[in-house]
Amino acid sequence: MIEVRPFDGLGHANHGWLDAHHHFSFANYMDPDRMGVGPLRVWNDDTIEPQTGFPPHGHRDMEIITYVRRGAITHEDNLGNKGRTEAGDVQIMSAGTGIMHSEYNLEDETTQIFQIWIIPNRDGHAPRWETKEFPKGENAGKLVLLASGRDGDDGADVPTIHQDAALFGASLAAGQSVTHTLHPGRTAYLVPARGTITVNGTDVGERDGVVVSDEAEVRIEAVDEAEIVLADLP
Query: How high is the pLDDT of residue 158?
Result: 84
Torsion angle (degrees, nearest 10) of CA 84, 41, 134, 149: 110
Low-confidence ranges of the chain (pLDDT < 50): none
Query: How high is the pLDDT of residue 132?
Result: 85
Q: How many residues does the chain have?
A: 234
Contact in structure between 111 and 74 (CB atoms under 8 Å)? no
The DSSP-derived string for 9-53 is GSEEEE-SSEEEEESS-BTTB--TT-S-BTTEEEEEEEEE-TTEE
For residue 24, give its domain range: 2-233
Contact in structure between 22 and 209 (CB atoms under 8 Å)? no
Domains contained in the chain, number: 1
pLDDT tens digits for range 7-59: 999 999 999 999 999 999 999 999 999 999 999 999 999 999 999 999 999 99
* Distance, CA of 51 to chain centre: 23
Query: How high is the pLDDT of residue 186?
Result: 98
Kindly report the CATH number assigned to the domain that includes residue 42. 2.60.120.10
* Alpha helix (H) residue ranges in the chain: none
- Whole-angstrom distance, CA of residue 203 vs CA of residue 196: 8
